[in-house]
Chain A
Amino acid sequence: AQTVTQSQPEMSVQEAETVTLSCTYDTSESNYYLFWYKQPPSRQMILVIRQEAYKQQNATENRFSVNFQKAAKSFSLKISDSQLGDTAMYFCAFMKPPGDSNYQLIWGAGTKLIIKP
């Protein structure tokens, strides 16, 4: 069975700093999808970034980028120039290809990120 591990329960950084959230996963699949979701205090889940395992290039979305190390089964999220609005719970999630998974996500425990002014 697939598992997702987030080893940092909580992190805090100063505004404008760069922060990296770690995520490791375990799977025997060769193709899959990885996601970072953000859950702000409103508790609405928001997709931050996604990565397809067969793509070697790391995904980026503005200030958010990932370091995807397939062999190491590592998928860290880097937030550059952090902003107060980045304060949230961040969840790493894994999904097997849709045909094998019915789109079910496997979730990490989450990292609470606090951006201090």
Chain B
Amino acid sequence: GAVVSQHPSWVICKSGTSVKIECRSLDFQATTMFWYRQFPKQSLMLMATSNEGSKATYEQGVEKDKFLINHASLTLSTLTVTSAHPEDSSFYICSTPGTGRSETQYFGPGTRLLVL
């Protein structure tokens, strides 16, 4: 089946640094990518939707200058947390319906970010 990878799976960084999270579709093309963050014992919160070759659409309350999303190719989307602070510590997940226009989403395994 379709596979989505995320890198890194686990990152610890100092406050004020930037962290880039990569999401790759390994055997299919991903026109659209969703980025979520998830706090412990809570549901997924959609942060933004990226479409290959165009600017991402951010959900209300999500700072686009803090959470930079790039979707430059059909197999790679990146989320950069700029000037990270402890409150940015969370679990970040990407998902995509692929280009087969399947109603089923394919999820990355997630990235656990801890900002000290």
Q: Which of A17-25, A61-69, A76-84, A104-112 contacts B (4 or more CB under 8 A)?
A: A104-112
Q: Given A104-B46, A105-B46, list of 16 further CB < 8 A pairs?
A: A42-B109, A43-B109, A45-B95, A45-B105, A45-B107, A50-B103, A50-B104, A89-B41, A98-B101, A98-B103, A103-B32, A104-B34, A105-B34, A105-B44, A105-B105, A110-B41
| B58 within 8 A of partner (CB) | no
Contact A43 B110, beta carbon cutoff 8 Å: yes
Q: Which of B63-116 contact A (CB under 8 A)?
A: 91, 93, 95, 97, 101, 103-105, 107, 109-110
User: How extensive is the interface on chain A, given as a class?
Assistant: 20 to 34
A67 CB, nearest partner CB in chain B, Å: 20
| B60 within 8 A of partner (CB) | no
| A28 within 8 A of partner (CB) | no
Chain A residues near B32 (CB-CB < 8 A): 102-103
| A44 within 8 A of partner (CB) | yes
- Main DSSP-derived SS at the B contact region: loop
| A75 within 8 A of partner (CB) | no
Listed in ascending order, the chain A residues whose CB lies under 8 Å from chain B are 33, 35, 42-45, 47, 50, 52, 89, 91, 95, 98, 102-105, 107-110, 112
Show 14 A/B contacts (Cβ-Cβ < 8 Å), sorted by A.
Answer: A43-B38, A44-B109, A47-B105, A91-B43, A103-B34, A103-B103, A103-B105, A104-B49, A105-B46, A105-B105, A107-B43, A108-B43, A109-B42, A110-B42
Chain A residues near B103 (CB-CB < 8 A): 33, 50, 52, 95, 98, 103
Task: With CB as the reference atom, state the residue of chain B lying closest to A52.
Answer: B103
**Distance between Cα atoms of A42 and B49 in the complex (Å):** 24
Task: With CB as the reference atom, state the residue of chain A lying closest to B112.
Answer: A43
Task: With CB as the reference atom, state the residue of chain A lying closest to B1.
Answer: A47
Contact A44 B107, beta carbon cutoff 8 Å: yes
Please indicate which of the listed interface residues A45, A102, A104 has the most CB atoms of chain B within 10 Å of its own CB: A45
B38 CB, nearest partner CB in chain A, Å: 8
